[in-house]
Structure 1
């Protein structure tokens, strides 16, 4: 039955009241049927008294009442007929009285059911009202608050704990976004400040020549390229956080070869020795994001290396996972500082003016998270870093079965960093 009211309390009150009234009506109906089935013309007579009366009448030569010529059985039959008729009338009167009394009881039950239903509904909804008030008070500035519902481990307690977990993930995601925005603003402010300083010095220099203007323009062009790289990295990171919209089957091996081809001029300029051991490693994912992940791994290994160093890249299938791993030589990295490399704009043992925005491994982390991949990173003993990304080998059918929208809680799902 569709109820016009949308308030849960009214709906629960009507539901509980209707159930109680229906139960009372069924009980009264059963009682009425049981009484109705009882024989209405059954008369109970004491057999001893009946025998004594008949014997006395026979010894006197009379039949009940002393009427001559009438057998005792006839008089006895008339008495029983009158008793049966009287019993039937009494039974009908009792049924009518039972109906009247049942109607009164049902009316009283209706009022009592409404009161009890309201009390029960308020009792059931009290924790929900408390949780609703707490959630309404929580804002972006008070995400540290929790419902913290006390009581038995029932469905309401489970729901409150789920909401607390969601609020915790929202708090973590909001804190991460705020920190990222602040770091991104700091990274963009530095080249803008340098650009402003160069322009001001050039314009205020009265002895500036064409060569001076040319040198300043080249420096400004390099700063512009650096800003473009930062913005491109920020856009890629934002795109990876939106989740996967498109998936298809692809192979990591050709993606690794393409990334090495693109990075060859830079690696040759630094005199790096590049070795590749690529084998087929099929995965299911977004081709653009996976290609960006492999490119970021290779670019990071080339950019943060030492002259004459090494870069090693491998693709393979291992333990049911499609794996791409990139290792490089470079400056020593403390093992306890490795996880900081996957945080936005965190530089460990790197200069802030190396021309790289520091977002490569952050983008790798975000893309791996969107693909449910696992990242393993370790500092090499002779300097540098070794990073491995293991993708689950899903087919297109597996993807269709698990397809769903990524939400903000996915940001804190915890991609493993070993």
Structure 2
């Protein structure tokens, strides 16, 4: 139990002693690898030399037939039979001992000289490792300097690294892709802020004009004051709705905090029940075709999505028009679709209607600020849903939102199983075969 703090302390000290520069760490790594491999090579050479075949001492006395005689250490000598001459045997033994000493001296000399050569090559390897590490890290330093120069004012610049398709070029291409996405997000954010400022500036200007008119009009009556206050109150309500829409759009783009089982048919029935009085006031017909469509997600956001579709379908309609709302399950998807009659929508403009503050008209008539479908798209993206929109040939718009279907069979740990589906996309279609009903307003 007491070793754990000691190990932690040693690890912390090792981290502090570790060089901070990658080039120096690579140099030390290259040098250490060379020293280790050189030491292993030197050990192998030493073992091979010391384990070489036994020494051979040649003695020729000029008489007798020479024989090969081993001694107790495995050394061999060639000469007459040593048993025939004691003097010759002693002389041969002396020569054999001298040969062994010479062999040991040569091995020692080889070991010393090899160690010196290893030390010299270790220094050379460190220098070469420093140069090689600098060469390898040069593209990374160039990319780092380029990234440091890129800011919000020059987000269009790219690394544009040329060369072989290796890991460094792959990293540079990934950074370029990230910079492209950041540039698009920054441009979208700038447009959103500019449009929001424009939408808020118009009612503020009108409020200022109404207040100024009430102050400078010396003949103002109670009725005129009341009329101005009613208009100011309506403008304030519109601003509150705009701010609420902006907050909903922002929260939807952050993603979902939790999932819960949902039934689209129940959500649609609730929205239709609350929207029917407004539809009656506008002289519109609500037609519903409700079928079970189980899914999962954030119930408040899904309700807002359906409410926005229905509200826009009623707001951009014609007298005695119609709004058709359908729920169904199709190909592993829980689908809600809303279609409406209304003015003709150019097919090329359908995609643009899903951008913030984009409307067919230039004014925010009927309290619409052009955020309805952009909120729908943000909520659908947060739920990994697919949006298919098309302009109807006889006028109006059709929008279909397909959520991941929730199966009746629970998954492990009680979590509902979700049918597999492709990633969330938004597509603009003019092919009527793709949708029977779908919906939308602007």
> If the length of structure 2 is used for normalisation, what is the TM-score?
0.83
Question: Is 1:43 paired with 2:42?
Answer: no
Unpaired segments of 5 or more residues in structure 1? 57-69, 401-411
1:97-130 CA-partner distances (Å, limit 9, x unpaired): 1221122012102101110110111111111101
Q: Is the 8 A contact 1:331 1:349 kept in 2?
A: no
1:413 and 1:111 mapped to 2: Cα distance?
A: 58
Q: Which residue of 2 aligns with 1:362?
A: 374
What's the CA shift for 1:162?
Answer: 0.7
1:348-406 CA-partner distances (Å, limit 9, x unpaired): 14643332111000001111112221111101111110001112236796999xxxxxx
Q: Which residue of 1 aligns with 2:427?
A: 416
1:139-197 CA-partner distances (Å, limit 9, x unpaired): 01111011111111111111111111111000000100100010011111111111111
Unpaired segments of 5 or more residues in structure 2? 1-13, 67-81, 416-422, 430-442
Query: 13, 27, 38: which is aligned to 1:24?
Result: 38
What's the CA shift for 1:55?
Answer: 6.1
1:10 and 1:73 mapped to 2: Cα distance?
A: 70
Q: Is the 8 A contact 1:374 1:417 kept in 2?
A: no
Q: Is the 8 A contact 1:246 1:285 kept in 2?
A: yes
Q: Is the 8 A contact 2:384 2:424 kept in 1?
A: no
What's the CA shift for 1:265?
Answer: 2.1
2:106 and 2:406 mapped to 1: Cα distance?
A: 77
What's the CA shift for 1:342?
Answer: 0.5
Query: 136, 139, 147: which is aligned to 1:135?
Result: 147
1:149 and 1:393 mapped to 2: Cα distance?
A: 44
Question: Is 1:287 paired with 2:331?
Answer: no
Question: Is 1:193 paired with 2:205?
Answer: yes
Q: Which residue of 1 aligns with 2:69?
A: none
- SS of match in other structure, 2:64: helix
- SS of match in other structure, 1:276: strand
| Higher strand residue share | 2
What's the CA shift for 1:413?
Answer: 8.1
> Structure 1 stretches (4+) deviating beyond 4 angstroms?
394-400
More displaced 10-residue stretch of structure 1: 175-184 or 305-314: 305-314
Q: Is the 8 A contact 2:262 2:295 kept in 1?
A: yes
What's the CA shift for 1:15?
Answer: 0.7
Residues 33-182 of structure 1 aligned to structure 2 (within 5 Å): 33-39=47-53, 41-45=54-58, 52-54=62-64, 72-182=84-194
Q: Which residue of 1 aligns with 2:23?
A: 9
Residues 366 and 71 of structure 1: is their aligned pair in 2 closer, same or farther, counting only changes over 3 Å?
Answer: closer
Residues 198 and 321 of structure 1: is their aligned pair in 2 closer, same or farther, counting only changes over 3 Å?
Answer: same
What's the CA shift for 1:24?
Answer: 1.0
Residues 84 and 367 of structure 1: is their aligned pair in 2 closer, same or farther, counting only changes over 3 Å?
Answer: same
More displaced 10-residue stretch of structure 1: 276-285 or 116-125: 276-285
- Aligned-CA RMSD value: 2.5
How many residues align? The count is 392
- SS of match in other structure, 1:354: helix
1:384 and 1:284 mapped to 2: Cα distance?
A: 30
Question: Is 1:210 paired with 2:222?
Answer: yes
- SS of match in other structure, 1:416: strand
Question: Using CA pairs below 8 Å that are at least 6 residues apart, which structure has the higher relative contact order?
Answer: 1
What's the CA shift for 1:231?
Answer: 0.7
> If the length of structure 1 is used for normalisation, what is the TM-score?
0.88
1:279 and 1:97 mapped to 2: Cα distance?
A: 94
Q: Which residue of 2 aligns with 1:372?
A: 384
2:56 and 2:286 mapped to 1: Cα distance?
A: 113
Residues 268 and 81 of structure 1: is their aligned pair in 2 closer, same or farther, counting only changes over 3 Å?
Answer: same
More displaced 10-residue stretch of structure 1: 310-319 or 243-252: 243-252
Residues 227 and 88 of structure 1: is their aligned pair in 2 closer, same or farther, counting only changes over 3 Å?
Answer: same
